[in-house]
Chain A
Amino acid sequence: MKILVCISHVPDTTSKINFVEDNTKFDAAGVQFIIGPYDDYALARAIELKESMGATVTVLNVGQAETEPTIRKALAIGADDAIRVNAFPSDSFFVASQIAEHAKGFDLVLMGRESIDYNTGVVHSMVGEMLGIPSLSPVMKLDIEGDLVKMQREIEGGKESLEAKLPLVAGCQEPIAEWKIPNMRGIMSARTKPLNVVEPKAVDKPVDFKKYELPPAKGAVKMISEDNVSELVTLLKNEAKVL
């Protein structure tokens, strides 16, 4: 079985978000980049499947040269080889078009439920549609029996059990697998695993990110004594007007 795992290279979850160049560009100064937390679940499940049933795992990232340490980390966790599509991931359609270009021939394409930068949660659906294969997200359980994939998907207030045939695309989230931490041997071997850099396919972009902004600053907190809880009720009613 051939598994493709698509990983995004995103600011660490504790990063302070800022923009530069007249608010047209993300400020990467001092920001630590990681494999998207959901993509990390997808990768972990792919490695588990490789161990339990035999598979090759390829990771793919659409990104410029600075994403290579993130890709090497995925190789250290246990992927066999990697593809980097050498381009700035400008929008979901662009990224999905690049992934679809390389995803043919894979039995299973695993992604995260959403990237934590643009949070659109649509790249997997787009890739599924482009390839004409099913796409499900957010998948919290995924098992393969022959060419049948049994999954559990989270829906508002509960979950849904699903069955579909391979090939398919899944956007993953916990508890599909436990995050894996690379060990020393993994880190050593990652250095020599193939990381193929390919140029992007040209696509007409349907959207254009023009400008960014930060939310307005929050006002100061009003503290209420624990002996005067009814004051909180009054404030919620009359001041905040949320009751």
Chain B
Amino acid sequence: MAILVFVESADGKIKKTSLEAVAFAHAMGDAVTAIALGTIDSGELEAIGKYGANKVLSVADARLDQGVIKAYAAVLMQAMEAEGADTLVLANSSLGTPVGASVAIKMGASLASNVIELPKTDGGYIVKQSIYTGKAFAQVELKNEKKVIGIKKNAVELKEVGSNATVSAFAATLSEDDFGTKITATDKATGDILLPEAEIVVSGGRGMKGPEHWGMLEELAKTLGAATGCSKPVSDIGWRPHHEHVGQTGVKVAPQLYVAIGISGAIQHLAGVNSSKCIVVINKDADAPFFKAADYGIVGDAFDVVPKLTEALKAAK
């Protein structure tokens, strides 16, 4: 059976997490159709083929330039029917997750979220999901014929497996009612590396003493090509914007490298970073709990260590 993959874009570019969804679907072995909604450059759409899409559908309706959940779910359901697809694969995100859940209910599909590896099909259709904020995993059987699979970042390694795909237009029927929820404004950092998708994250805690000292972290982040994050108290006090708050009650990150500076390593903070490949901790207190969760640690004053680290990185380039 065919698989449909919902791909998202940001700033006119297909998101890396969505390309991972394409690669994931390709690795599942069936024919893969990717679908993108809104106005996106055709070169970007064609390139989805490199990651394993056999074809790409484009719904170039300007009303879909904004992520209207209900309208998106309606389009995806129509595309699944038109393509005879029994499985929808997408990357879990602020848009993908609710859209996937709506499609699952509309179609009577089994829904899986935060899936971290390819399904196993010997003895039922079993996926592995991350639960308890990364503190555990569950083997979940998807029992219905139709399935919606949401994948977590890094569920699969991204590599080119093919060439450009042909892009065809897909005409969806949408009603006024599908746009009943109005997006009146979007306030989004453009050009910046988005924290939930970043490969490297530089994060600061209360040990940074005040917002005026973030220049130092930003300099380090710039040198590393990293996004910046923070602990919950830091965003609660308003030193940093809310969407940078990492942890159990904030953004869950899964970068290659997480650099924690002046963060004690409370269990709620660790819950948001435990999917990182490598963790570096800089803290002046040798007993800070974060060191237990770290791969590399430096005991020292951030105000000395961070500028030195930035210099060393620049020198090594």
Contact = CB atoms under 8 A, between A and B. Distances in A.
B186 to A, nearest CB: 5
Interface in A33-58: 37-38
A33 to B, nearest CB: 13
B101 to A, nearest CB: 4
Contacts of A162: 181-184
Interface string A147-176: 000000111111111111100000001110
A243 interface: yes
Nearest to A118: B131
B141 A129 contact: no
B207 interface: no
B243 A17 contact: no
* Interface footprint category on B: 35 or more
A13 interface: yes
A147 to B, nearest CB: 12
Interface string A167-188: 0000001110000000000000
Nearest to A14: B267
Interface residues of A, number: 75
Contact of A159 (B236, B243, B257): B243
B114 A120 contact: yes
Given A116-B133, A140-B242, A212-B137, A157 B295 contact: no
B50 interface: no
Contacts, number: 249
Nearest to A218: B293
Interface of B: 10, 67, 69-70, 73, 93-95, 97-98, 100-102, 104-106, 108-114, 124, 126, 129-144, 180-189, 192, 194-197, 200, 224, 236, 242-243, 248-249, 256-257, 267-268, 271, 274, 277-278, 280-281, 291-301, 304-305, 308-309, 312-313, 315-316
Given A156-B196, A242-B200, 6 more contacts: A206-B108, A222-B295, A229-B308, A229-B309, A242-B256, A242-B277
Interface of A: 11, 13-14, 17, 19, 37-38, 92-93, 96, 116-122, 124-126, 128-130, 134-138, 140, 153-165, 173-175, 205-215, 218-219, 221-226, 229-230, 232-237, 240, 242-243
> Lowest 9 A-B CB distances belong to which pairs?
A158-B188, A226-B300, A125-B101, A129-B105, A122-B101, A206-B110, A161-B185, A164-B181, A125-B98
12 contacts: A17-B135, A125-B101, A135-B102, A138-B94, A159-B186, A163-B184, A165-B180, A207-B110, A208-B141, A221-B294, A230-B316, A240-B257
